[in-house]
Amino acid sequence: MDARINANLKIPSGGRERQPLTPGEAALMLAALGNPIRMRAFRHLVEADGPGLKVGTLQNYLKLPASTLNHHLTALSRCGLIRQRRIGREVQNEPSLENLQRLERFLEEMGTLSFLPGDFRA
């Protein structure tokens, strides 16, 4: 993920009404999820009960070195798909379901555009 592009995007994570994703924001999220390790980590976070998972728990699920997992979690956090917060000495990771819904809406709206040939529309 290009840090120069990411630094210019501000994906809200507060509790107010969200604006639709821009194509650039959607591209960053899709690029992050395009990596199989990030997709698996994100899926574990979405499927977890409660407020997300600690890094150690994710590390046990994914069988990755801490530095590798940190690299992938940072990419998911920078694009707005997860939130990270420190609890004592540990970092809790939780999915941003709001931004995931925004991405879903963006993709649904793309599916209604007429630039796709008929064979590619369901």
Per-residue confidence at 35, pLDDT binned at 50, 70, 90?
very high
Q: What is the pLDDT at residue 89?
A: 92
The answer on pLDDT for 106 being more than 70 is yes
The answer on pLDDT for 9 being more than 50 is no
Q: What is the pLDDT at residue 105?
A: 93
User: In this structure, is residue 100 part of a structural domain?
Assistant: yes
Helix, coil or strand: residue 74? helix
Question: What residue numbers bound the domain in which 88 lies?
Answer: 21-107
Q: What is the CATH number of the domain that holds 52?
A: 1.10.10.10
User: In this structure, is residue 60 part of a structural domain?
Assistant: yes
The answer to whether the beta carbons of residues 25 and 80 sit under 8 Å apart is yes
pLDDT, mean of residues 32-47: 96
Residues 6+ apart with CB under 8 A from 103: 21, 26, 29, 30
- Report the mean per-residue pLDDT for the chain: 83
Percent of the chain clearing pLDDT 70 (strictly above): 76
User: In this structure, is residue 112 part of a structural domain?
Assistant: no
The answer on pLDDT for 31 being more than 50 is yes
Task: For the full predicted model, state whether its pTM sits above 0.75.
Answer: yes
Q: Tokens standing for 40?
A: 């698996």
What's the total number of domains in the chain? 1
The answer on pLDDT for 10 being more than 50 is no
Per-residue confidence at 3, pLDDT binned at 50, 70, 90?
very low
From residue 3, how far is each of 35, 75, 78, 90, 98 by CA, in Å? Answer: 16, 10, 9, 25, 23
Q: Which amino acid is residue 48, in one-letter code?
A: A
Query: Which of 54, 8, 46, 49 has its CA nearest to residue 27?
Result: 8
In which region does residue 52 sit, left (phi positive, over 0), alpha (psi from -120 to 50) or beta (all else)? Answer: left
